[in-house]
C-alpha cells in the first residue's frame, strides 16, 4: 500500500472535488475531535485553549492527514459505503493514534502528562464515531434527495427476509430506475411498521388508496412460496388498478447471491394459473431414458420440441426427431446444433403417414422409446377436412404403433387431449379413436410394446393456442376475438405438459391413459382481459373484446373425464389413471381399416364422420354441419 496523493488526479473534476471535500471535512472533524479530547482531559480554560495553537497539535493533525492518505479513506463512493470502507477508516484512526502516542515522547513537557493517554483514547473513539457518522449521514441524504425523487414509484409485496433483500438491492442499483415507497404484506404483525424506513401496508385494506396516494406504478413480488391462489388474487388486484407486476428469477440464477433488478421480469400468463407449478420426479425419467435411443414424432411442434429439449438433459444415447414442417424443423436443428454436432440429436423430415419411410427409420435406429406428438389439432379446420384428421391422427398413429410392435419398442407414449372426452368435434373424436387403437394394441397377443396415453388440456403458448393469437392481436392493437363469454378451458404450461409425457413413459406399464390434475378451468374472457392489462392497456378502451360465436365443433367447457370413467391414483398426486371403456384389438381393427380406407379413397366427409361415430358412440357434434348425423341416428334408434 502506498500514499495516495496522486489519486485526486485519477478521476474527473467532479470526482476530484468530492474526494477533496471529504478529505478536508475529515481533517476538520479530526481537529474538532482532538480539541474536544484535550478539553475532556483538562478543562475549558484559557491555558487549555492555548495548547491548540502550539506546534505539537499541528504535528498530530499532520499524522492524521498522512494516515487518511495512506489508507485512502476519502477514496470511496459514499452512497455505496459498506463495512470495508468503515474498516479502512478505523485502521487510519488507530494507526494515527499509535503514531501520535509514540511521537508524544519527543514533545514539550506541557503535552507529556499523565492525561496524554486519555487524550489519545478519547480522540480515537470520537474520531471514529464522528467520521463514520459523516459518511452515513451523507449516504442517507443521498438516498432521500436522489432515490426519492427519481425512478418508477415501486412497492414490494412481502416484508420478510426476501422483501428486505430486494429493498437493499433496489437502493444500491439506482441505474434501473425503481423508487421504493411502500411494502405490502399479509402478515398483520408487520402492518403499519417500518422496514428500512419504509412503511408496511395491509394489501387487504385500503390497497387502492395507498396506490393512489403514493403514486405506485410497479409492484415486485417478494415472497417465497406464495400460495398460487393468493398470488393470482393479488396479481389480479394489481392489474385492475393498472399496476405493472414484476417477479424475481429463481435463486439459482441470482448474481453474487442477490437478485439483480435487471433480472426482474413481468408476470406472464403462467402466473395466472390458479394452482402451484407441477414438479414431477425427474429421477424416474432419468433412469428410464438415460443412454436409450428415443424417437419423437412431431418434434418441431411446441410440445414435441420441448420433449426433445427435456430428453436431451437426461443424456439419452440418441434422439431421433421427425416432423414434416420444414421451417420449424430447421429452426430446432439450429437451436440444438451442439447436440446435432455431437450426434445425440438426429432431425428427420418426414410424415408419419408415410409407412415405408417410418419403417426404414425404425429399421435404421431401432428406438427403445417412442413419444408420439405428431397430430392435427385445430378444431375448426378438422371439421372441414375430416379425412386429414383421420390420415394424421388415426393412420399416422397406427403406423407408428404398429411399427413399434414390429421393431419391439419398449414403450410407446401417445399425447392425447381433453377434447377426447365426449368429443364434440372431428379432431377430438379422431384422437379418441387413436387412443382406442393404441390401448387395444397394448393387449393384443402379438404385442410386446407397452402403450401409454397421456391426456391433458390446453397448453399455454403452444401452436394454435389462444395465447399467441391474443398476443399478436394486442401487439397490433386489434380487437381480441372471443367465441363466447362463458367459454372456459383447463391450462398447463409447455414444460409441465412435457414433464407429464416423460414421466408417463417412465411409470406406465402399458394400457394406461394417464390424466393430469389441472386445477380450476380458466375463463377465456378473463384471460383476455388480464393479458390486455399485463400489456399496460385497458380492456374495452384500448383493446376491444368482440364475441364472435362458437366455432364449428367447439364446446363451452372441456372435461378431463367422461361420466362413465373413474380414476385410479398413481405414485404422484397430480397424475391419475383413467378407467375407460375398453375395445378389443379384433373388434377395433376392421373399423379402423374401413375408416382409413374411406379417408384415403376420397369418401365424403359425412361418410367418414359416420364411421367415426360408430367407433365413438359418445361423439356428438356441436355447432357443426355434422349435427344432423346425430339426429338421424337418434331417429333410427327410436
pTM of the model: 0.71
Does 69 have pLDDT greater than 70? yes
pLDDT value at position 395? 98
Dihedral sign for Cα 349, 352, 354, 359, please: positive
Query: Using CA atoms, how far apart are residues 290 and 283, in angstroms rounded to an integer?
Result: 10
**Each residue of 283-339: pLDDT tens digit?**
778 888 999 999 999 999 989 999 999 999 999 999 999 999 999 999 999 999 999
**Helix or strand or coil: residue 248?**
coil
β-sheet bridge partners, residue 266 = 246
Q: Write down all domains in the chain, each with its CATH number in brackets.
A: 5-145 (no CATH), 150-267 (3.40.50.720), 282-581+588-615 (3.40.50.720)
- Average pLDDT on 606-630 reads 92
- What is d(CA 439, CA 581) in angstroms, rounded to the nearest whole number? 10
Residues in the chain: 638
Q: What is the pLDDT of residue 43?
A: 58
Q: Does position 501 have pLDDT exceeding 80, yes or no?
A: yes
For residue 13, pLDDT over 50 is answered with: no
Give the residue, 99 or 394, on which the prediction is more confident: 394
Q: Percentage of the chain surpassing pLDDT 70? A: 84
- Please name the residues in contact with 281: beta carbons below 8 A apart, sequence gap of 6 or more: 503, 571, 572
Instruction: Give the pLDDT confidence score for residue 434 in this predicted structure.
Output: 97
* Cell 380492456 -> residue: 539
Three-state DSSP class for residue 345? strand
Tens-place pLDDT, residues 380-392: 999 999 999 999 9
Hey, is 341 helix, strand or coil? helix
Residue with cell 377430438: 428
Q: Which cell is 440 given?
A: 387395444
> E strands, 472-571, where?
480-482, 488-489, 491-493, 513-516, 522-523, 545-547, 566-569
pLDDT in tens, 198-209: 899 999 888 999
Q: Are 580 and 432 a contacting pair, CB within 8 Å? A: no
Rounded mean pLDDT, 386-407: 97
Instruction: Please say if the pLDDT value at position 637 is more than 50.
Output: no
Does 50 score more than 60 pLDDT?
no
At 371 the pLDDT is 96
- Buried-state track 229-267, b at ≥16 Cβ within 10 A, e below 16: eebbebbebbbeeebbbbbbeeeeeeeeeebebebbeeb
* pLDDT confidence tier of residue 5, bands split at 50, 70 and 90: very low
pLDDT of residue 1: 41
pLDDT of 330? 96
Confidence at 52, pLDDT banded by 50, 70, 90:
low
Amino acid at each position: 500500500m502506498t500514499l495516495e496523493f496522486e489519486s485526486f488526479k485519477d478521476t474527473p473534476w467532479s470526482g476530484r472535488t468530492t474526494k477533496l471535500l471529504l478529505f478536508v471535512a475529515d481533517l476538520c472533524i479530526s481537529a474538532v475531535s482532538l480539541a474536544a479530547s484535550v478539553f475532556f482531559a483538562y478543562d475549558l480554560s484559557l491555558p487549555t485553549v492555548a495548547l491548540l495553537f502550539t506546534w505539537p497539535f499541528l504535528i498530530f493533525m499532520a499524522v492524521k492527514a498522512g494516515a487518511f492518505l495512506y489508507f485512502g479513506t476519502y477514496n470511496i463512493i459514499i452512497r455505496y459505503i459498506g463495512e470495508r470502507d468503515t474498516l479502512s477508516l478505523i485502521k487510519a484512526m488507530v494507526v494515527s493514534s499509535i503514531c501520535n502516542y509514540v511521537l508524544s515522547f519527543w514533545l514539550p513537557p506541557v503535552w507529556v502528562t499523565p492525561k496524554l493517554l486519555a487524550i489519545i483514547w478519547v480522540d480515537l473513539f470520537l474520531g471514529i464515531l464522528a467520521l463514520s457518522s459523516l459518511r452515513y449521514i451523507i449516504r442517507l441524504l443521498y438516498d432521500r434527495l436522489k432515490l426519492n425523487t427519481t425512478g418508477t414509484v415501486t412497492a414490494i409485496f412481502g416484508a420478510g427476509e426476501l422483501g428486505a433483500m430486494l429493498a437493499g438491492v433496489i437502493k444500491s442499483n439506482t441505474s434501473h430506475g425503481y423508487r421504493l415507497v411502500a411494502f405490502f404484506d399479509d402478515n398483520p404483525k408487520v402492518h403499519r411498521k417500518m422496514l428500512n424506513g419504509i412503511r408496511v401496508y395491509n394489501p387487504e385494506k385500503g390497497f387502492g388508496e395507498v396506490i393512489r396516494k403514493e403514486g405506485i406504478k410497479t409492484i415486485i413480488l417478494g415472497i417465497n412460496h406464495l400460495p398460487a391462489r393468493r398470488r393470482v388474487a393479488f396479481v389480479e388486484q394489481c392489474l385492475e388498478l393498472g399496476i405493472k407486476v414484476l417477479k424475481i428469477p429463481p435463486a439459482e440464477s441470482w448474481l453474487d447471491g442477490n437478485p439483480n433488478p435487471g433480472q426482474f421480469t413481468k408476470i406472464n400468463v403462467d402466473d395466472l394459473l390458479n394452482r402451484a407449478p407441477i414438479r414431477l420426479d425427474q429421477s424416474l425419467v432419468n433412469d428410464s431414458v438415460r443412454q436409450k435411443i428415443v424417437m419423437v414424432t412431431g418434434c418441431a411442434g411446441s410440445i414435441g420440441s420441448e420433449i426433445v429439449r427435456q430428453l436431451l438433459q437426461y443424456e439419452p444415447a440418441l434422439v431421433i426427431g421427425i416432423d414434416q414442417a420444414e421451417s420449424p424443423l430447421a429452426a430446432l436443428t439450429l437451436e440444438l446444433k451442439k447436440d446435432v454436432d455431437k450426434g445425440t440429436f438426429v432431425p428427420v423430415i418426414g410424415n408419419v403417414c408415410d409407412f415405408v419411410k417410418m419403417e426404414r427409420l425404425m429399421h435404421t435406429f431401432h428406438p427403445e422409446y417412442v413419444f408420439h406428438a405428431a397430430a392435427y389439432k385445430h378444431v375448426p379446420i378438422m371439421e372441414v377436412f375430416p379425412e386429414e384428421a383421420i390420415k394424421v391422427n388415426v393412420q399416422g398413429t397406427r403406423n407408428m404403433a404398429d411399427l413399434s410392435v414390429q421393431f419391439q419398442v419398449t414403450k410407446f407414449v401417445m399425447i392425447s387431449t381433453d377434447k377426447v372426452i365426449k368429443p364434440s368435434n372431428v379432431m377430438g373424436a379422431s384422437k379418441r379413436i387413436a387412443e382406442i387403437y393404441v390401448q387395444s394394441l397394448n393387449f393384443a397377443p402379438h404385442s410386446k410394446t407397452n402403450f401409454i396415453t397421456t391426456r391433458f388440456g390446453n397448453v399455454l403458448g403452444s401452436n394454435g393456442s389462444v395465447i399467441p393469437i391474443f398476443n399478436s392481436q394486442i401487439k397490433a392493437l386489434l380487437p381480441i376475438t372471443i367465441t363466447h363469454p362463458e367459454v372456459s378451458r383447463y391450462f398447463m404450461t409447455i414444460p409441465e405438459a412435457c414433464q407429464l409425457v416423460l414421466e408417463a413413459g417412465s411409470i406406465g406399464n402399458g394400457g394406461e391413459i394417464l390424466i393430469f390434475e389441472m386445477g380450476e378451468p380458466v375463463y377465456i374472457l378473463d384471460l383476455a382481459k388480464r393479458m390486455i392489462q399485463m400489456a399496460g392497456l385497458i380492456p374495452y378502451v384500448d383493446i376491444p373484446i368482440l364475441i364472435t360465436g362458437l366455432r364449428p365443433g367447439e364446446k363451452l367447457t372441456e372435461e378431463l373425464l367422461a361420466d362413465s370413467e373413474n380414476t385410479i391414483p398413481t405414485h404422484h398426486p397430480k397424475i391419475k389413471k383413467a378407467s375407460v371403456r375398453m375395445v378389443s384389438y379384433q373388434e377395433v381393427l376392421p373399423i379402423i381399416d374401413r375408416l382409413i380406407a374411406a379417408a384415403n379413397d376420397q369418401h365424403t366427409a359425412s361418410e367418414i364422420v359416420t364411421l367415426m361415430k360408430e367407433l365413438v358412440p359418445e361423439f356428438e357434434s356441436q355447432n357443426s354441419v355434422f349435427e344432423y348425423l346425430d339426429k338421424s341416428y337418434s331417429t333410427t334408434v327410436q
